[in-house]
A and B are shown apart, each in its own frame.
Chain A
Amino acid sequence: SAVISQKPSRDICQRGTSLTIQCQVDSQVTMMFWYRQQPGQSLTLIATANQGSEATYESGFVIDKFPISRPNLTFSTLTVSNMSPEDSSIYLCSVVFTVRTGELFFGEGSRLTVL
């Protein structure tokens, strides 16, 4: 099965700074997404990472706060900008390999703590 690698796996950051999370898939995928999972809660979709164009953001998420890049079909980055303690969360890269089934597969996640 394909491998979805995320880094960093965890980080502790200071308020006001920014962090970029990378997601690398070892095969080309059409659909790639970024999710957030806050402590004790389920997953919330941040945005769909579109190859070669601007990401599609869900309600409550904006590009200035969560800029996303997707230069090709195997790689994407999510930046959490101007961080505050409320941004402490697990950020998960996910992909769909087969559009017909829609099954979603996740990277191992990046656990972010903002002090």
Chain B
Amino acid sequence: RKEVEQDPGPFNVPEGATVAFNCTYSNSASQSFFWYRQDCRKEPKLLMSVYSSGNEDGRFTAQLNRASQYISLLIRDSKLSDSATYLCVVKSNDYKLSFGAGTTVTVRA
């Protein structure tokens, strides 16, 4: 079983829609969680860290469910510029990160 698993998508949504997707992780001792965004042919960029209580950054909301070992990302009022691949990243020890394969989101006009 992979350490981090994501639905690859693609999620095709119209502008203004809400889209949400999850990521599951296998190591119950995982300590930190992140969502990264990767545009085509670009490097991953940190979108947001995921806190235990859940957190929101503008139109983006991240949730953590430790009991079921998953994190989620919700994008409200989708913009064309939100089209990207979203990588789930889990940190299990001091520095080593495990990356999911990514969820592709395409927002259409």
Contacts and interface: CB of A to CB of B under 8 A. Distances in A.
Interface residues of B, number: 21
A45 interface: yes
27 contacts: A31-B95, A41-B101, A42-B100, A42-B102, A43-B87, A45-B96, A45-B97, A92-B43, A92-B44, A96-B95, A99-B94, A99-B95, A102-B31, A102-B94, A102-B95, A102-B97, A103-B34, A103-B46, A104-B34, A104-B46, A104-B89, A105-B46, A106-B43, A106-B45, A108-B42, A108-B43, A109-B43
Overall SS of chain A's interface: strand
A92 B43 CA distance: 8
Contact of B99 (A31, A43, A99, A107): A43
A53 interface: no
Interface string A29-52: 001010000000111110010000
Contact of B32 (A43, A45, A92, A102): A102
B91 interface: yes
Given A109-B42, A109-B43, 9 more contacts: A42-B87, A45-B96, A92-B44, A96-B95, A102-B32, A102-B95, A103-B49, A104-B97, A111-B41
Interface of A: 31, 33, 41-45, 48, 92, 96, 99, 101-109, 111
Contacts of A96: 95
Contact of B44 (A31, A45, A99, A106): A106
Name the residue in A31, A44, A104, A108 with the highest tally of chain B Cβ atoms < 10 Å from its Cβ.
A104
A8 to B, nearest CB: 15
A102 B91 contact: yes
Nearest to B46: A103
Contacts of B94: 99, 102
A107 B102 contact: no
Contacts of A43: 44, 87, 99
